[in-house]
Amino acid sequence: FPNDPKFAYCFNIIIIPGFMVYLGFIRSFLNLDILMPKWDKILKYFFWLGIPFTVIHVIVTILSNYSYGIADYIPISYIVFFLPLLTFFLYPLYRTNDVKGKFIIVGTLMLLVGIFFNILLWAEVFDQTLLDLKVGFILEILIFSIGLAYRDQENIKAKEQADFQLVKTQLLHVQEQAEIGRLKEMDNIKSKLYTNITHEFRTPLTVIMGMNENITGHIQEKNLIRRNSKNLLRLINQLLDLSKAESSNLKVVKINGDIVSFIQYLTESFYSMASDKGIKLTFYTEEETLIMDYDETLVQHIFYNLLSNAIKFTEENGKIVCHLCAVEIDDMEFIKIKIQDTGIGIPEEVLPHIFDRFYQVDNSSTRRGEGTGIGLALVMELLQLMNGKIDVVSKLGKGTEFVVFLPIENDIKTKKESASKINMKQNIPISLPILPSENNALHETNHPILLIIEDNKDVIEYIESILQKNYNICISRNGQLGIDKAIEIIPDIILSDVMMPIKDGYEVCDTLKKDERTSHIPIILLTAKATLQDRLEGLKYGADAFLTKPFNKEELLVRLKKLTELRKELHARYAERPEVPFSLEGQKDALPFTQKLRRIVIDHFDDPDFGVSDLGNNIHMSDMQVYRKLKALTDQTPSSFIRSVRLQKATLLLKETDLSISDIAYSTGFNTPNYFSRIFNQRFKMSPSEYRHK
């Protein structure tokens, strides 16, 4: 518009707002507040700076009567600020590696070049150029249009992906709901199965317990059957109660009575069990009496599980305290029952899981005691049923503290204080095993020495009852004690459980088979695990036989008998015979242990005083260990073994040399020729001279 500058400036005035819109486009297109938040703030400030520049531009344009020479200084000033700002912005944008940023970089470069040439035209550096601001804008718009198309395509893909994820999430939700329904159905089936199975268990158990009472005599056997039947009945009842609690079929039947005396009686019922293990069990109450509503049977189950666990996992000379008091929490009164022990403790990471059904802290074969993982799960269910709660604090190696809270209520009008005393004697399912005598002294009998390594007292008592007539029995109650006892007494045979504290049966077997003092001892492993893999595991560690619990009495007797007979065959096989020619190593098929002893005896032919103690010192074994090991392998005593080696050397000298009888006697370690002749005659039924000329 050369003839009417007013119209020309109508276009010229929109230059600064055009740059403002450009900045707004960059921020929106790039999502700059997320991609580059600091630069987003800078461009935002520069955007708002365009408003006063535009106002000033309009005012100056009007006042200068639309003079190009004056009014253009305003947009040029804005552009002078704008140009370096965009220049510095492009490099950090490039470093983001954002694909959309590359469209902005290329388009902006086109705009900047156009601005640069437009400034040169304005400064009259040259009259005309092919690239000015308008061409830069056109190229920039073209590139930005391609970028917008790219962004729209990406948005379509993102929407499709989001829709796909939504459908996928919905499908997963449907599957989860179906799985939840299936699990609920399976849980109901399992609960019914538990109920049916446990009811079926009760029938034969009733017969066993009833017939046991009809048996006359056999007091020890009857007590063993009765005690284990009650324990089995308790486990069955726990399964039934757990199933009922989870299906909301277990009812709370409360009485109103003194819970302090009831808890005290329950505690005293465990005194014998704690005393047998060398544990000090103490009951301490801050309330002399506390009358409240409670379910005796449920409280009894809770208390039994917590206190029996405390005794099970507390070492000898440990302490257990049962503390009782009344407390107020959130304006409600509770009885607080704390059972604190100095046992092995529970690792912190497993504490959240100890109330899960069938969860056991230690599933290894060296775990302490036996268990099913039902007890604490039942405790939690019963407490929830009675609106109570339980807390647990434990430190590994220091002990565990269980704290039970039961609400104190007195809603039952008819008091039944006598019911506690009646039910105490009838319902408490506490069956305390009598500790078998751990008599490890070797009796003067001809029976083989049997070492039993087992932590279950009733199993020990049962095994003793069927084997004590034919074996001299020693007992160890964990794997490490069993290893120590085996090395000490060198038994004829070992019967070991697999799952025991400290060291399991596999470790016992491995240790004893690798020790020269005990490597010859047959070992039978007992385990409740009956899979082929478990049997292979035991055989891999050198076990001679493997029996699965519950084992058959006759099978155990046959296994022990056969292994004992194998040892007798070894006696005959490796015993030195007169017709065997003398050599430094003895018989080719001799055992390494006897070969070692032979070598030692040969090295001491010149010492007539070399005896059993010297033999043991040379192989770092006690006299008894040498005696037991050599007797087991060859049926010879150490003294007779030494004489046998000396005599075999003498037979060689008699046949292959012209040495006199006296010289041969002295050279093979005999004190006098007469003693040599007498011993030779006893062994070979002829004199040395007769043997030489035979």
pLDDT, tens only, 445-458 = 578 889 999 887 77
The angle that helices 479-489 and 505-514 make with each other, rounded to 10 degrees, is: 30
Contacts of range 139-142, beta carbons closer than 8 Å, 24 or more positions apart: 139/107, 139/110, 139/111, 139/114, 140/107, 140/108, 140/110, 140/111, 140/114, 141/107
Residues 544-553: b if buried by 16+ CB within 10 A, e if exposed: bbbbbeebee
- Give the DSSP letter of residue 2: T
Give the separation between CA 274 and CA 437, rounded to whole angstroms. Answer: 17
CB of 447 within 8 A of CB of 473? no
pLDDT at residue 423 is higher than 50: no
Report phi then psi at 334, rounded to 5.
-135, 150
Give percent of the chain with pLDDT exceeding 70.
80
Higher pLDDT, 118 or 200: 118
pTM: 0.49
Tokens 């478990």 -> residue = 534
pLDDT at 190: 64
Question: Across the strands, what pairs with 336?
Answer: 325, 405
Region of 556 (left: φ > 0; alpha: ψ -120 to 50; beta: rest) is alpha
pLDDT confidence tier of residue 242, bands split at 50, 70 and 90: low
Cα radius of gyration rounded to whole Å, the chain: 47
| Contact present, 350 and 378 (Cβ < 8 Å) | no
Nearest one of 263, 259, 407 to 334, comparing CA atoms: 407
User: What DSSP state is assigned to residue 539?
Assistant: H
Weakest mean pLDDT among 14-18, 562-566, 634-638: 634-638
pLDDT of residue 432: 43
Query: In the numeric block, which tokens belong to residue 250?
Result: 């277990």
CA–CA separation, 317 and 321 (whole Å): 13
Q: What is the dihedral of CA 433, 439, 445, 448, to 10 degrees?
A: 70
More reliable by pLDDT, 182 or 450: 450
Among 220-224, 421-425, 578-582, top mean pLDDT goes to 220-224
pLDDT band at 319 (very low <50, low <70, confident <90, very high): very high
Q: What residues contact 501, with CB distance under 8 A and at least 6 apart?
A: 366, 367, 368, 369, 455, 478, 479
CA distance 267 to 258: 15
Mean pLDDT of the residues in the chain:
78
Question: In this structure, what DSSP letter does residue 30 have?
Answer: H
